[in-house]
Amino acid sequence: MSARDIIYPGATLGVLGSGQLGRMFALEARRMGYRVHTYSDAADTPTGHISDKEYTGSYDDLDAVRSFARGVEVVTFEFENVPSATAAAAAECAPVRPGGEVLHITQHRLREKTFLQKHGFPLPPFRLVTSLDLLEAGLAELGCPAVLKSAGWGYDGKGQVKITAPDQAAAAWESLGGQDAVLEAFVDFEREASVVAVRGADGSYTDFGLFENEHVNHILDVTLSPGRFSVAVVEQAQALAREIVEALNVVGVLCVELFVTRDGGLLVNELAPRPHNSGHVTLDQCETSQFEQQVRAICGLPLGSSRPLCPAVMVNLLGDLWSGGEPHWERACAVPGVKLHLYGKREARLGRKMGHLTAVARDVDTARARALEARKALTD
């Protein structure tokens, strides 16, 4: 990659989407000397607070999207539910990284699973469901329990339902509103994990190892880094992530969410073509965070070192913590090794991600205990 292909500091980077992922990206970009513009269908947003300009409009207003893209040097996105037509319109005026084809595949569960299956990547058995009859046939093949997931626009457990008996099929189908869905065989996994992988414009690659993730009500609750896995499992996961980002020709960040089975095998759960909630731990743990890597990758700069400086654990802060009033931030900040990250959201709602805490320590179990202690102190 030649110097003329590099987007140097001082240039303007565009973000489609305006949540906390864009906010943390913008903070890193501005620290490195870039300007940031954001476009979304909302105003007064977490990303907008940090950006030089916040554009508000419909993702379907393609003329407005083109106007936004003409004002930046490169476009990235901070969540995958941006319509593919929006990414295509932006690409008429500026490079989009990762590319629109990556977005098109990963924003739709059936396209994503079909891609993974075609390329021989391990994943749970699945069936396309477009009717109640096909759902019942799929349950007969895959058995119960199974998980029915909407084909598109799902995250944090939204648009999915567990089916534990065949007579629940009709209610499950109705709960998704009759939209196209994917039926997955239920995986009796040992642990959930993720690899946040980064690929540069020159094909260079790095990742942050294998994170161990704990979920509550389908929402990520705790991330441990490093995860408590064998060396063999970690190396297998890293190799798998690299093969996936190269098969997709990703330029930027992509998270591979995984199930670790009881026999030490790996199954791909989902892909996210952007920085990931589990990767927030890298802000306080690693030489180069996932957000700085995103800036470097889309701008054609050399990728930084992803080396961890110490063990670390992240815990999410959901809107539930505000139900009894303002949390006691001073108590959490008094716990040794704890860092507070809030996203600037105006309204706390149940289940809404409002921020996170990261704790660092000499070992991951101590870091986990500190992080949980700090979160508990917020409401004690």
What tokens were used for 87? 């990414």
User: What pLDDT, on the 0 to 100 scale, is given for residue 375?
Assistant: 98
208 and 181 fall within a common domain: no
Number of domains in the chain: 3
140 and 193 fall within a common domain: no
Average pLDDT in the chain:
95
pLDDT digits (tens, 9 = 90+) for 75-130: 999 988 888 899 999 999 999 999 999 999 999 999 999 999 999 999 999 999 99
Please report whether residue 105 resides in a domain: no
315 — phi, psi (to 5°)?
-125, 140
Please report whether residue 316 resides in a domain: yes
DSSP bridge pairs for 219: 216
User: What pLDDT, on the 0 to 100 scale, is given for residue 155?
Assistant: 59
218 and 144 fall within a common domain: no
Please report whether residue 308 resides in a domain: yes
159 and 196 fall within a common domain: no
CB-based contact 285:340 (threshold 8 Å): no
pLDDT digits (tens, 9 = 90+) for 313-328: 999 999 999 999 999 9
197 and 257 fall within a common domain: yes
242 and 352 fall within a common domain: yes
User: What pLDDT, on the 0 to 100 scale, is given for residue 325?
Assistant: 95
337 and 322 fall within a common domain: yes
Domain of 275: which CATH number? 3.30.470.20
Task: Please give the Cα distance from 331 to 120 (Å, whole number).
Answer: 49
Please report whether residue 107 resides in a domain: no
Region for 88 from its dihedrals, namely left if φ exceeds 0, alpha if ψ lies in -120 to 50, beta otherwise: alpha
Q: Which of 185, 220, 235 is the last residue of a domain?
A: 185
Q: What is the DSSP string of 159-187?
A: TEEEE-SGGGHHHHHHHTTT--EEEEEPP
150 and 299 fall within a common domain: no
Taking the complete model, does pTM exceed 0.85, yes or no? yes
Please report whether residue 167 resides in a domain: yes
Q: Which of 185, 203, 234 is the last residue of a domain?
A: 185
158 and 271 fall within a common domain: no
- In the block, tokens 């567990």 appear at 162
Please report whether residue 157 resides in a domain: yes
User: What pLDDT, on the 0 to 100 scale, is given for residue 151?
Assistant: 86
Q: What's the start-to-end Cα distance of the chain, in Å? A: 54
197 and 137 fall within a common domain: no
User: What pLDDT, on the 0 to 100 scale, is given for residue 191?
Assistant: 97
Task: Please give the Cα distance from 47 to 27 (Å, whole number).
Answer: 9
Please report whether residue 114 resides in a domain: no
Please report whether residue 116 resides in a domain: no
User: What pLDDT, on the 0 to 100 scale, is given for residue 157?
Assistant: 56
Mean pLDDT, 10 residues at a time, the chain of 380 residues: 83 97 98 98 97 97 98 94 92 96 92 96 95 94 93 69 94 89 92 98 97 95 98 98 98 98 94 97 98 98 97 98 96 98 96 97 98 97
221 and 349 fall within a common domain: yes
Domain interval for residue 309: 189-377
Domain of 130: which CATH number? 3.30.1490.20
Q: Which of 96, 113, 148 is the last residue of a domain?
A: 96
Nearest alpha-carbon partner for 27 in 40, 15, 36: 36
User: What pLDDT, on the 0 to 100 scale, is given for residue 179?
Assistant: 85
313 — phi, psi (to 5°)?
-140, 135
